[in-house]
Amino acid sequence: MSKTIRDMIKENKKRSFLPKYSEKVAPIIFGICAVISVFTTIGIIFTLVIETVTFFNRVSFMEFITSTEWYPFSENDSSYGIISLVSGTLLITVIAMLVAIPIGISSAIYLSEYASERTRRVIKPILEVLAGVPTIVYGFFALTFVTPLLKAIIPGLSIFNALSPGIVVGIMIIPMIASLSEDAMSSVPNSMREGALAMGATKLEVALKVVLPAALSGIIASFVLGISRAIGETMIVAVAAGSTPNLTLDVTDSIQTMTAYIVQVSLGDASYGSTIYYSIYAVGMTLFVFTLLMNLLAQYISRRFREEY
């Protein structure tokens, strides 16, 4: 006589290595982990807000968002204009995305549309190894290899500049864009590819005119997340971009980003409780707002333009 489903479930429970009460305990453990994550986020935001408010009790908010000069270490006439740091951050980000987007998308198209399964299993993990390289290594790579290489092409390039770290930040975020874009392209049904090929389209036309538009939401979301990663990058720009808060679009000049300034002050250049000390929280809050907006934009794009197959 064959066993019923109920009998099989009972036998499976008897053979289970987990205690009978595990089904009741597991949700509690998972819930505690979720609560810890939420409270950690709340604690970080609370710390940023409290210290930022202290800073704005000493420095005018209008000066902070409108002044173009950032000279916190000046003894006689200190100035706290965040625009110069924001411009340096955005300059690095623009250079990085100009490098990462073409290479990342090209890599994703190759892996999704041209590479065999065996080739994909080899190339994709190697590509993603770039994401595991410590950023301090990238920083010294930019300073000691990329910058001398660029100086041979651009004689007027200074040792510390925006171009070299921008390029290396772009190289660093290539795996993020390539991997997320490839996942989005791979989720496009093969029936769409086969239909386009049956209509006489070439493989390149299928990739660019069918697969790419169909996976557009995931691809754009990878761009936005890449931008967020570039904005928050610290060690590459701290090592290779210099510490000169210039409001400039000249990529050959030394600049300073928001993260690089936080590193500079955190190394002990300011005493605890000073205005300079509290300024890193104001800069950190600005950076937090930028990153939060980028992540919210990525989520909105993913929901708004997602294709259901």
User: Do the domain assignments include residue 3?
Assistant: no
| Together in a domain, 240 and 100 | yes
| Together in a domain, 115 and 248 | yes
Give me the number of domains the chain comprises: 2
278-309: pLDDT as tens digits: 888 999 899 888 888 888 877 777 777 666 65
Question: Given the structure tokens 């205005």, which residue do they identify?
Answer: 275
78-102: pLDDT as tens digits: 788 888 889 989 999 999 999 999 9
- Per-residue pLDDT for 128 more than 60? yes
Domain that holds residue 111: 79-304
- Residue 96's domain is classified under what CATH number? 1.10.3720.10
Phi, psi (deg, nearest 5) at residue 302: -60, -40
| Together in a domain, 230 and 266 | yes
Sequence-separated (6 or more) residues with CB below 8 Å from residue 183: 218
Q: Which residues pair with 80 in a beta bridge?
A: 70
Please choose, from the candidates 67, 83, 95, the residue with its C-alpha nearest in 3D space to the C-alpha of residue 240.
95
CA–CA separation, 225 vs 221, rounded Å?
Answer: 6
Contact predicate 164/146, CB 8 Å: yes
User: Do the domain assignments include residue 13?
Assistant: no
The pLDDT value recorded for residue 275 is: 83
Burial profile 285-309: b = 16 or more Cβ within 10 angstroms, e = fewer = bbbbebeeebeebbeebbeeeeeee
| Together in a domain, 28 and 175 | no
| Together in a domain, 31 and 112 | no
Q: At what angle do helices 83-109 and 216-231 cross, to 10 degrees?
A: 140
CA–CA separation, 284 vs 291, rounded Å?
Answer: 10
User: Do the domain assignments include residue 7?
Assistant: no
| Together in a domain, 44 and 151 | no
With residue 8 as reference, give the H or E element that holds it: helix 5-15
CA–CA separation, 248 vs 158, rounded Å?
Answer: 14
Burial of 107 (0-12, 13-18, 19+ CB in 10 A): buried
The pLDDT value recorded for residue 192 is: 84
pTM: 0.83
User: Do the domain assignments include residue 251?
Assistant: yes
| Together in a domain, 43 and 90 | no
| Together in a domain, 129 and 254 | yes
Burial of 123 (0-12, 13-18, 19+ CB in 10 A): middle
| Together in a domain, 162 and 263 | yes
Q: At what angle do helices 216-231 and 275-304 cross, to 10 degrees?
A: 180
The pLDDT value recorded for residue 12 is: 66
User: Do the domain assignments include residue 69?
Assistant: no
User: Do the domain assignments include residue 1?
Assistant: no
211-220: pLDDT as tens digits: 888 888 888 8
Q: Which residues pair with 70 in a beta bridge?
A: 80
User: Do the domain assignments include residue 285?
Assistant: yes
| Together in a domain, 147 and 267 | yes
User: Do the domain assignments include residue 72?
Assistant: no
| Together in a domain, 171 and 223 | yes
Report residue 309 as tokens: 């197959």
The pLDDT value recorded for residue 298 is: 75
- Per-residue pLDDT for 36 more than 80? yes
CB atoms within 10 A of CB 119: 12
| Together in a domain, 97 and 200 | yes
The pLDDT value recorded for residue 93 is: 92
